[in-house]
Amino acid sequence: MRQLTEESLTHAVLAATDTSVDPRTRDVANALIRHLHAFVREIEPSEAEWLKGIEFLTRTGHTCDANRQEFILLSDTLGVSMLVDAINHRRPGNVTESTVLGPFHVHGAPALPMGANLAEGVDGGSPAFVEGRVLDGNGKPIAGARLDVWQVRPDRLYDVQDPEQPSMQLRAVFHTAADGRYRFRTVMPVSYAIPDDGPVGEMLRALGRHPWRPAHIHFIVSAPGHAPVVTHVFVEDDPYLDSDAVFGVKDSLVVAFEERPPGMAPDGAPMETHFHVAHHDFSLSAR
């Protein structure tokens, strides 16, 4: 393995992988080597450009901490997260479509009772009531299905982006009743910019792209014996539905949040302001 040339280098690197290693590891590594070499051959980077790439990835790593995951953001904004999602969730047509998990999910959200206010203690925002059912692939209600719900605050930040505020704001776990129903109160979801003060933001600006995501609520819906789904409910008529910075929008996940005048809310509470009502059923496939 000497005198390697522009032409022979790729083969030599592929041949260096020991044939006794785990076959999946070998396949993944060799595909990465082949595609990386093809990429470099295509763009023919100067050494300064190559170093700029190394520095970009280094800064992406340094931007990550316990609350910020710049690499997930990079994957999301390059469309890789949605591609991985599509490959892993080739579902039948009657099952809720999946979309990106995103970098803001937190484990351990508190379990709240049916009808509780997800936005308790959160400032601002217009009240919204969300309800629906969790169904199996045959349209039969699933009792005790779990809905892990999280949402950005009206000030367009997730709680984890604001260490000054209490944790677990706009995060909760709900369970469906015997008839498969769930319902909760929240505030109207708002569109927000993904964190663009780091390397991913630089990349977006360099590519002439904006950092905005259309308004949505995140859900992970799961039930014993069924495949869980990581998904969103998007707000109909949001101006960013056709240019989501992370390519996550699917038509079946876009839901009307109907505005209602002051009066009685769906939970019977008297409302002195306008409020919104949304209905969305989730369908899970059997495992």
Residue (56 or 71) nearer to Fe ion, CB: 71
Q: In terms of CB distance, is 102 or 195 closer to Fe ion?
A: 102
Q: Based on CB atoms, which residue is closest to Fe ion, 102 or 199?
A: 102
Beta bridge partners of 117: 185
> Least distance from C-beta 152 to Fe ion, angstroms?
6
The single-letter DSSP state of residue 15 is: H
253 closest CA partner among 72, 89, 124? 89
Shortest approach of Fe ion to residue 168 CB, angstroms?
A: 16
- Taking residues 172 to 201 in sequence order and writing x for each that binds Fe ion by CB under 5 A, - otherwise, the string is ------------------------------
Q: Which residues of 1-12 are buried (b: 16+ CB within 10 A; e: fewer)?
A: eeeeeeeeebee
Residue sitting closest to Fe ion (CB): 102
What is the C-alpha to C-alpha distance for residues 38 and 45, in angstroms, rounded to an integer? 12
> Would you give the binding string for Fe ion spanning residues 100-139, x where CB under 5 A is met?
--x-------------------------------------
Distance, CA of 211 to CA of 76 (rounded, Å) = 11
Beta-carbon count within 10 A of 62 CB: 11
Q: How many residues bind Fe ion (CB under 5 A)?
A: 1
Q: Which two tokens stand for residue 236?
A: 């109909």
- For the chain, how big is the Rg over CA atoms in Å? 23
Inter-axis angle of helices 23-43 and 9-16, nearest 10: 160
Residue 152 or 284 with smaller CB distance to Fe ion: 152
Buried b (16+ CB within 10 A) or exposed e, 115-139: bbbbbeebeebebbbbbbbbbbbee
Please say which residue, 223 or 229, places its beta carbon nearer to Fe ion. 229
The sheet that has 216-222: what strands, in order across it?
A: 171-175, 146-150, 216-222, 229-235, 254-255
CA pair distance 171, 100, nearest whole angstrom: 17
- Minimum gap (Å) between residue 158 Cβ and Fe ion: 7
Nearer to Fe ion, 102 or 211 (CB): 102
Interface stretch with Fe ion, choices 52-60, 96-104, 161-169, 279-287 (CB under 5 A): 96-104
Per CB under 5 A, the segment of 16-24, 88-96, 99-107, 181-189 that binds Fe ion is: 99-107
Given the complex with Fe ion, which of 180 and 248 has the nearer CB atom?
A: 248
Q: How far, in Å, CA of 260 to CA of 277, rounded?
A: 7
Of the candidate spans 94-102, 121-129, 134-142, 267-275, the one that interacts with Fe ion by CB under 5 A turns out to be 94-102
Pick the piece of the chain touching Fe ion (CB under 5 A) from 47-55, 67-75, 98-106, 199-207. 98-106
Minimal distance, residue 218 CB to Fe ion, in Å: 6
Can you give the binding site for Fe ion, defined by CB under 5 A? Answer: 102
